[in-house]
Amino acid sequence: MTWRRIGLALAGAACPALLLFPAFSGAQPAAESSAGAGRNLTQQTQKEVSITLPSFAPLAERVLPAVVNISVESTEDAGVQGKGDAQGGVPSAPGGTPFDQFMRRFFSNPFRNPQEKTMALGSGVVIDPAGYIATNGHVVANAQKVTVTFQDNSQHPAKVVGHDQKTDIALLKIDTKQPLAYVTWGNSDEPKVGDWVVAVGNPFGLGGTVTAGIVSALGRNINEGPYDDFLQIDAPINRGNSGGPTFNLQGQVIGINTAIYSPSGGSVGIGFAVPSNIAKHVVAQLKEHGHVTWGWLGVAIQNITPAIAESLGLDPEHPMGALIASVTRDSPAQKAGLQSGDVVIRAGGHDIKTVHDLPRLVAAAAVGSKMELTIRRGDKQQEVEATIGEMPEKVASAVPGQAQPNSASALGMELAPLAPELRSELHVPKDVNGVVVGRIANDSPALALGVQPGDVIVSIDRKPVKTPEEAATELKEAASHGNILMLLNRHGVSQFVGLSTDDKAMSGSSR
């Protein structure tokens, strides 16, 4: 499978839109279908086979003035940061030879002029007549200059108010003398599978383009972030659509298009949009504070397999809840008395049906608020009250800020242990071990090659490393020979990289 960011991160040719209409409408919900097993559903719905197809022209005419094209000028290759290259390439397996994939997705070209200007395109939508525009964070990553173009071809410089990396939502602001045409947020909890949707954007830089389809799935988790809850749509979206809106038939924004599934790089009719209820929350905080504050509990959780469920005394056929694997020291969870091995089955009045439900509920809770948790510990069920804390900064910025416990440094890199919470944040598989790269000095040879904070060093000269001290020692020894072969893991993808260095390139000391 290949998950691809769109806008700055989609490659390939557009596929023609082929609308497949259902043989009947008004199909029974899944729960009713299961309960009514054995009934002939085709006969049951014969009278409903006649449907009237909608025209999207009035909707398109109404919303197009609020959808904008976004061009971004940067002096840094956004692909290095995992957000796509300047030509609209994809950050995940964009095709070509393995070496091409390695160079494009994992590191920058060391021979590329770092001051060379690059251009990229995306989409956005006006959500406030005062000039506020919602888009994707990866559209404006590393932007030096952002220009917004409206349907009448008028252009306006825009500033980035802020962006949230956890949801990939960003907010822009342009100065305007007159109120702009804008659209409103819809309720993304209302759409059902099979409902019509319309996607509008700037695919391949062609300008305002409208495509139509249906909601093909709800609550999709594609491991792009900790709060994945995507709407899956089949309205064709391609490179340049990133940050553009998905509308319901009332002309309300119910999603911000952000990624597709594509083995080839082009649209195959499986796109993903950040639900409006999430995007609206993020945009409101960006507008008010310039950043987003997320609720935090401080637990590492995992899914409950049938085998685990049976060992915990739960129903192995329908395991529900989130199993706590570890509890962060001095976190709200620890202060509430939560323990490793507890199963959270209800939080804030909502059942935890899948492991992904808990992070989303906690993240949306106000910092300082109380959350009632129903947990199962052993064969007993009990109630626990936790005070929601503020989510710490992401690893890539939190680790560099200060030396971590049991840390070490070498070659200008701060090295920290791969703690459970870092493993979860960085999407590092359980079978991968190593040390996390924190702060990197400006003159570090590793930085020049493209090593980033948050990368995990798995091995040095094919010797596995498990602690920062061990890694620092191996790096020093390898550097004395002039060449280092490192195996790095970035967000679950492992690649070898060769460093050519000398003793003068060393920076820091082991401690």
Residues belonging to the active site? 138, 168, 242
Q: Write the DSSP string, 47-59.
A: GG----PPP-HHH
- Name the amino acid, one letter, at 483: N
CA 359 – CA 24 distance, rounded (Å): 37
Task: Let me know: does 329 contact 338? Beta carbons within 8 Å.
Answer: no
Q: Write the DSSP string, 7-24.
A: STT--SPPPPP-PPPPSS
Residue 97: CB atoms within 10 Å: 8
DSSP code of 103?
I
Q: Where are the beta strands (DSSP E) in 434-500?
A: 435-440, 456-460, 463-464, 483-490, 493-500
Task: Let me know: does 10 contact 79? Beta carbons within 8 Å.
Answer: no
Sequence length of the chain is: 511
- Name the amino acid, one letter, at 148: V
Q: Please enumerate in sequence order all residues whose Cβ is within 8 A of that of 432, keeping only pairs 6 or more positions apart, or say none.
A: 456, 458, 489, 492, 494
Q: Where are the beta strands (DSSP E) in 239-397?
A: 245-247, 253-261, 271-275, 295-296, 299-302, 322-327, 343-347, 350-351, 370-377, 380-387, 389-390
CA 298 – CA 328 distance, rounded (Å): 5
Task: Let me know: does 437 contact 414? Beta carbons within 8 Å.
Answer: yes
Q: Please enumerate in sequence order all residues whose Cβ is within 8 A of that of 316, keeping only pairs 6 or more positions apart, or say none.
A: 306, 307, 309, 310
CA 497 – CA 462 distance, rounded (Å): 11
Beta strand 389-390 with 408-410 is unpaired
CA 150 – CA 449 distance, rounded (Å): 39
- Report the first-to-last Cα separation within the chain, whole angstroms: 42
Task: Let me know: does 299 contact 323? Beta carbons within 8 Å.
Answer: no
